[in-house]
Structure 1
Amino acid sequence: MPRAGLTPERLTRAGAELADEVGFDQVTVSALARRFDVKAASLYSHVRNSQDLKTRIALLALAEMADRAADAVAGRAGKDALAAFADAYREYAREHPGRYAAARFRLDPRTAAAGAGVRHSQMTRAILRGYDLTEPDQTHAVRLLGSVFHGYVSLEASGGFSHSSPDSGESWRRIVDSLDALLRNWPAEP
């Protein structure tokens, strides 16, 4: 019989909180069971295994990020939308480092297609419509933005910019300005 109050949703949220505290790699069914002071076996009626738990946390993180980005870009276009999207991404990673790591978790294609990862791509493409890019340039630009955002956020999270000047926030703004300039002047295909 399932323990009162434990649901897949509650376990997923608790797993996401645990990821933010100890790191996504450290989240297991056993670690989550210790948090609820229950035996791991009592959680298996709600999650199949640690892989299932991590997948659920990844989907939660992707949905949270997509919601935050959608709110940030609503009613904006061009550079303003790009900056709002970038800032939402960076702020989420700073506030929820474990969940951000979870959002990078490799999902099987069917799960990924049903999750919020598609919303991220759609929002990025909506922002890029303001730059008048056609295919395949939109796809290249989506990959560029994702790479730059993830790379910067990852370096910042690992302390890569903590001991240098100027402030990493100033560098972030310069990077977003540079991306805007690049997108406005996208190179023609050779």
Structure 2
Amino acid sequence: MTEARLVSAAAELADEEGLAAVSISALARRFGAQPASVYSHVAGLDRLLDHTAQFALKELSDLLAETLPGKAGRSALFAFANAHRDYARAHPGRWQAAGRQLAPDVAAASAGPRIARAARAIMREYGLSATDEVHAVRLLGSAINGFVALEAGGGFDHSAPPAAESWARVLDAVDTSLRHWPAAAASATSID
């Protein structure tokens, strides 16, 4: 039993049963050990979940590193979004862990900043200002996370057309929004 093996087992357990099922006791049972043995390798459940998030973010970052080279603009946008959705579908518990709020030092040491840089690079292809790149990355993240969460929760199971068709339309809409980005956004307080 090592910290790395515990984190890998936590990621597998999260995929099988959900992130909420990950506990020190559950991991101890997987290894046929007592919880105290697990604690000798990890400094508690929060630390284990942080490491599981880092594990998932690295996997996702590695997937993006394989997927994005040679792509730009719309092609890169679709590749980036599809990699996220594919990862979430293949690894639902790890995906949930990747969305976990991490302490600033843990987040900085994760692959999260690499993923963010990849998203910002895609936005640069649309000719956005540095400030608008931030807004655009948030739009893309909201579209990806919202769609993936609804899909995982069965929100698209009871109607046609298939979710894959809607996914392509959502990405088309994001691409169109990025190509026609407004010069200045309306104040949130002025929207009624």
> How far off is 1:129 after superposition?
1.3
1:128 to 120, 123, 126: 123
Residue pairs, 1:7-156, within 5 angstroms: 7-156=2-151
Q: What is the TM-score normalised by the length of structure 2? A: 0.94
Could you list the runs of 4 or more consecutive aligned residues of structure 1 that deviate by over 3 angstroms after TM superposition?
none
- Residues in 2 aligned to 1:167 and 1:46: alpha-carbon distance in whole angstroms: 45
- Residues in 2 aligned to 1:49 and 1:12: alpha-carbon distance in whole angstroms: 12
Query: Which residue type is aligned with residue 90 of structure 2?
Result: E
> How far off is 1:70 after superposition?
2.1
1:183 to 178, 181, 188: 178
Query: Which residue type is aligned with residue 108 of structure 1?
Result: A
**Runs of 5+ in structure 2 lacking a partner?**
186-192
**Runs of 5+ in structure 1 lacking a partner?**
1-5
Q: What is the TM-score normalised by the length of structure 1? A: 0.95
Q: Deviations over 1:11-48 (max 9, x none)?
A: 10011000001100110111000011110111112101
- Residues in 2 aligned to 1:154 and 1:74: alpha-carbon distance in whole angstroms: 27
- Residues in 1 aligned to 2:106 and 2:128: alpha-carbon distance in whole angstroms: 29
Query: Which residue type is aligned with residue 153 of structure 2?
Result: S
Alignment RMSD (CA, Å): 0.8
> How far off is 1:103 after superposition?
0.5
Query: Which residue type is aligned with residue 73 of structure 1?
Result: L
Query: Which residue type is aligned with residue 85 of structure 1?
Result: F
1:174 to 145, 169, 174: 169
Q: Percent identity over the alignment?
A: 52
Paired position in structure 1 for 2:190: none
